[in-house]
Amino acid sequence: MRWLVFIAFVSWLPLTSAADPPRLDTSRGDRMIAEYFRLETAKLRDACLADIHSADDWNAKKGEYRRQLLDMLGLDPLPERTELHPVVTGKTEHAEFTVERLHFQSRPGLYVTGDLYVPKTVGHVSNVPGNKSPNEKKDGHVENVPHGKFPAILYVCGHGGVKKDGVSFGNKVHYQHHGGWFARNGYVCLIIDSLQLGEIEGIHHGTHRYDRWWWLSRGYTPAGVEAWNCVRALDYLQSRPEVDGDKLGVTGRSGGGAYSWWIAAIDERVKAAVPTAGITDLQNHVVDGVVEGHCDCMFCLNTYRWDYPLVAALVAPRALLISNTDRDGIFPLDGVYRTYSKVRRLYELLGKPNDLALQITAGGHADTQELHIHGFRWFDKHLKGIDRPIDNVATKFFQPEQLKVFDKLPADELNTKIDETFVAAAPTPVPPADKEAWEKQRDGWLQQLGDKVFRGWPVSGSPLDLKEAFNVEADGVRLRAFDFVSQQGITLRLYVAQRAKLDQAELVVVNPLDAIGWTEFLATYRPAFAEQLKGEAPDSESRATGEWPSTKKMFESFPWAMAYVAPRGIGPTAWDQSAKKQTQHRRRFYLLGQTLEEMQAWDIRRAIQATRAVTGLADTPLWLQGHRQMAALSVYAAIFEPNIKRIDLHEMPASHRDGPALFNVLRVFDLPQAVTLAAERSQVVIYSPDKTAWQFPQAVAERLQWEKRFQLRTPPQPKAAE
């Protein structure tokens, strides 16, 4: 009598634990997703700076662009500039310079360790007007520098950690030769550790290695931490008596090249920048696969759907030298040149064509001296106003122990868990007091969802191009399949089943399927429709095969139609199932200003539209049913699609911390509030043993008298395995 459970509309899907999904032929899915990434990348490439035709255009827009970049780094609004609490823990001497080992706190508990290289000789700095020293001795040394101040360079490190016996000395040790080189040429140079590979070891590889996809929901990227640490490093440099705070430059390579971009783009105190091997465009990252060689610190959360020349443009019209090698596998030359070319047009519009340059040397992704010689000349020109040969070489003078800042790591450090607090989550809301308060709260949330969460959705209203793939009957059940276009590059299949002789269904239920659901769908329907479904996945043994008799019985007893769709990446459109490729494709999505789950929610919306386009179902009452993450995505589809009578949600996570990942959503609200938005429009039934997680929608429904709009039900007990 299993069919009787349908009276309460418990899912048709089997309640036994599911077997692993079958191995799939992913060639179709691989081709589809590759074409999709190509098309989406082209859209962003073509839009980048396309509306800038004059200096006035740029000046009118650059403030908003800078705000957007800050937002995508998790820095809008900017954090409070709290006390730095700088501490010099020791000094290391060289004949030509002193190294001060120091730390400061960019935020309370967020420690930045660094080495400050201070010249002992004025050298060429005396050529700068106003910086001539009355105290310079014949040997070139000075007793002090009250006469004038040095220009300063912030050197940001790439991934070059140094460890001994499990103790991290920071990547500043690996890059020490740059600090010494600058100091010997008349610059104060501050080399700071990055969050990862510093003396206090944080994490850059949240999505790359540790499945911290909630970073996207939180709006967090370690690039934001690196950018903020650079802002505060400039604050520190300007506090030093030896530094001319109006003559600040920044450089670094690899990861440090990327951080050079962030700080130069967001902070106009940087007067000259030389990012080295730190940028390329989306064509390289997404289409050519360069993203797979980078950790998350290299990327902002691309909420506003930029291509990377727009980051470079924010340095204009200040002095910018883009430096790279010709065979760098993770910063390919073609993408570097495309970036330079787009920005060159902007510098020309601004009347500063000579303040942008491109330097290319021979080699791969290596820290070669020839990469940096031109950088010295660039800084000399733009910070000192001189032109001279560089007549010494970069040398590592010190052992790691001589540059270490901490003897003992601070107990109050937040570096190792800064991802939990760097971007503030939205506070848990209080249920609104009345209808007016609710409507104000609702409208604000909907606005934020459009602005910060679902900007990657296509414009609504594009043709579905619905085409029937097959229409067959077996065992008194009619199964139809329809192909439809979810968006350009993504074609999905909708399956509709109902009693064979049913003239008009009284209800249609749309079921978005995850991998488990897809396996169960095939196992349930293949006994009757083996020929039509044989190509969708290899045959596999499943305990769900016994579900066909009860499913057939349901169709005999109720005038219902059941519709099924597997969103992109699942079932017929599944791509390479290896863990690496699954991870890297998800990362490609977020470089395009989307998440995979966000676009699967769009697919559900389009499946609902396709269902209504099927002959005979246009005006049929429609229910939506989802399991696990598809339950959560169904909630968002219901928020934006009209006339959904009811939503049944099974095994749904109670928080986006546990999935699905949607850009910035935890900066807006969490799943209980999303459910509340849906409950205003549709009846929502959640099958969950956890009653406390859903108190917010329960309270709002009671307060606003949404009778029966929100229900919590105990999940049905799993059917015993036979």
What's the pLDDT score for residue 537? 60
Backbone φ and ψ of 486, nearest 5°:
-75, -45
> Residue 464: CB partners within 8 Å, gap ≥ 6?
484, 485, 606, 609, 610, 613
Residue-level length of the chain: 722
In which band, very low, low, confident or very high, does the pLDDT at 19 lie, cut at 50, 70 and 90? very low
Tell me, what amino acid is at 617? L
User: Residue 148 above 80 pLDDT?
Assistant: no
User: Residue 691 above 80 pLDDT?
Assistant: yes
- Mean pLDDT within 223-232: 98
What's the pLDDT score for residue 24? 53
Identify the bridge partners of residue 272 per DSSP, sorted by sequence position.
249, 319
> Residue 517: CB partners within 8 Å, gap ≥ 6?
13, 511, 566, 627, 630
What's the pLDDT score for residue 7? 32
Query: How far apart are alpha carbons 474 and 551 in whole angstroms?
Result: 13
What's the pLDDT score for residue 5? 31
Of 176, 180, 190, 179, nearest in space to 113 by CA: 190
Q: What percent of the chain has pLDDT over 90?
A: 86
User: Residue 72 above 70 pLDDT?
Assistant: yes
Which of 49-53, 126-130, 205-209, 585-589 is the least confident region?
Answer: 126-130
- Mean pLDDT within 478-490: 98
Which of 41-55, 269-283, 477-491, 537-551 is the least confident region?
Answer: 537-551
- Mean pLDDT within 570-581: 95
Half-sphere exposure of 656 (CA within 13 A, CB side): 31
CB 566 within 8 A of CB 50: no
In which band, very low, low, confident or very high, does the pLDDT at 1 lie, cut at 50, 70 and 90? very low
Average per-residue pLDDT for the chain: 91
| 3-state DSSP assignment of residue 367 | coil
- Mean pLDDT within 413-422: 98
What's the pLDDT score for residue 221? 98
Residue located via tokens 């095939």:
522
In which band, very low, low, confident or very high, does the pLDDT at 545 lie, cut at 50, 70 and 90? low
Which of 137-141, 155-159, 220-224, 488-492 is the least confident region?
Answer: 137-141
C-alpha torsion sign, points 557, 559, 560, 561: positive
User: Residue 20 above 90 pLDDT?
Assistant: no
Q: What is the pLDDT of residues 692-705, one digit of tens each?
A: 999 999 999 999 99
User: Residue 125 above 80 pLDDT?
Assistant: no
What's the pLDDT score for residue 255? 96
User: Residue 623 above 80 pLDDT?
Assistant: yes
As a whole number of Å, the CA-based R_g of the chain is: 30
User: Residue 475 above 70 pLDDT?
Assistant: yes
Q: What is the pLDDT of residues 278-305, one digit of tens each?
A: 999 999 999 999 999 999 999 999 999 9
User: Residue 609 above 70 pLDDT?
Assistant: yes
Q: Which helix H or strand E contains 246, and what residues bound it?
A: strand 243-253
CB 233 within 8 A of CB 154: yes
What's the pLDDT score for residue 720? 54
- In the chain, residues under CATH classification 3.40.50.1820 are 72-420, 451-713
| 3-state DSSP assignment of residue 261 | helix
Domain 451-713 maps to which CATH number in 3.30.450.40, 3.30.1490.20, 3.10.180.10, 3.40.50.1820? 3.40.50.1820
More confident position, 149 or 139: 149
The alpha helices in 152-287, defined as continuous H runs, are 171-174, 176-184, 214-218, 222-239, 255-266, 282
What's the pLDDT score for residue 11? 39
Query: How far apart are alpha carbons 244 and 239 in whole angstroms?
Result: 10
> Residue 139: CB partners within 8 Å, gap ≥ 6?
none
What's the pLDDT score for residue 371? 86
CA angle 289, 291, 296 (to 5 degrees): 170
Query: How far apart are alpha carbons 77 and 67 in whole angstroms?
Result: 9
What's the pLDDT score for residue 124? 43
> Does the domain formed by 72-420 have CATH 3.40.50.1820?
yes
User: Residue 123 above 70 pLDDT?
Assistant: no
- Mean pLDDT within 610-625: 97
Query: How far apart are alpha carbons 581 and 299 in whole angstroms?
Result: 19
Q: What is the pLDDT of residues 254-277, one digit of tens each?
A: 999 999 999 999 999 999 999 999
User: Residue 178 above 60 pLDDT?
Assistant: yes
In which band, very low, low, confident or very high, does the pLDDT at 112 lie, cut at 50, 70 and 90? very high
In this structure, the strands spanning 167-168 and 110-119 are unpaired
Q: Which helix H or strand E contains 204, and what residues bound it?
A: none
Tell me, what amino acid is at 298? M
Query: How far apart are alpha carbons 557 and 2 in whole angstroms?
Result: 12
> Residue 63: CB partners within 8 Å, gap ≥ 6?
none
- The structure's pTM equals 0.92
C-alpha torsion sign, points 328, 333, 334, 335: positive
Q: What is the pLDDT of residues 130-142, one digit of tens each?
A: 444 333 433 433 3
